[in-house]
Amino acid sequence: MSQQNCCCCGNNQVDERLEKAREIIKKYKDVKGGLIPVLHQIQNIYGYLPEDVLKEVSSELNIPMSEIFGVASFYSYFSLEPKGEHVIRVCLGTACYVKGAQLLIDKISQELNISVNKTTEDGKFTLEATRCLGACGLAPVMVIGEKVYGRLTPDMIPDILKEYK
C-alpha cells in the first residue's frame, strides 16, 4: 500500500481511490460481461473514467482500450474527462431546439469560453447538450445541477451564470 499523501490536504485520498478501483477490477477479472459494472463503479469513485485506471482495466480484464473507449463513449452516463463543479445541461430536444436552444449553447460557450462537453479551466463549469428533459412546456430549458431554468433567452444567460461564479 502506498503512503503518498495528497499535496493539498495531506490525505491519501488519491491512493484510496486507486486501491478501491483495483479491488473492483480484481473482483470482475474473470467475470463475463464485467466491463460495464467495472466502469460504473470506477465512474462512481472518480466522477469520471481516468485513462490510467482504464489501462489497468484493459490489461486485467484483457479487453483492448479501443473497446473500452467504445463502451465509455456510447453510454452518456460515462465521462472520460473530469466534470466541473456545476454541470450545465442545455436541452436540444425538438421543442427546445425550435425555440432557440442552440442560441443558448452559443451564448454559454461564448460566456465561459468552452464548447459542448468541455469544462472551464478553473473546473467550475461543464457544458453539456442533452435530449428532452421532460419539461417541453418550458422550452427552451437548461438545468444547472438540480435547478431547472425555462423559457430562456440568450440575454438571460450572463445573470444566471453569475449565480454560480
Annotated binding site for [2Fe-2S] cluster: 91, 96, 132, 136
Are the beta carbons of 63 and 35 closer than 8 angstroms?
Answer: yes
Single residue of 13, 44, 94, 115 touching ligand FES by CB under 6 A: 94
Cα pseudo-dihedral 78, 85, 123, 154, rounded to 10: 100
Least Å from the CB of residue 135 to ligand FES: 4
Q: State the DSSP H helix or E strand holding residue 135, giving kind and residue range, or none if neither.
A: none
Least Å from the CB of residue 87 to ligand FES: 16
Single residue of 132, 144, 148, 160 touching ligand FES by CB under 6 A: 132
Check binding of 87 to ligand FES (CB under 6 A): no
Residue with cell 460481461: 33
**Between residues 34 and 140, which has the closer beta carbon with respect to ligand FES?**
140
Helix 65-74 to helix 35-46 angle (10° resolution) is 70
Chain centroid to Cα 152, Å, comes to 24
* Chain residues that interact with ligand FES, rule: CB under 6 A: 91, 93-96, 132-136, 139, 141
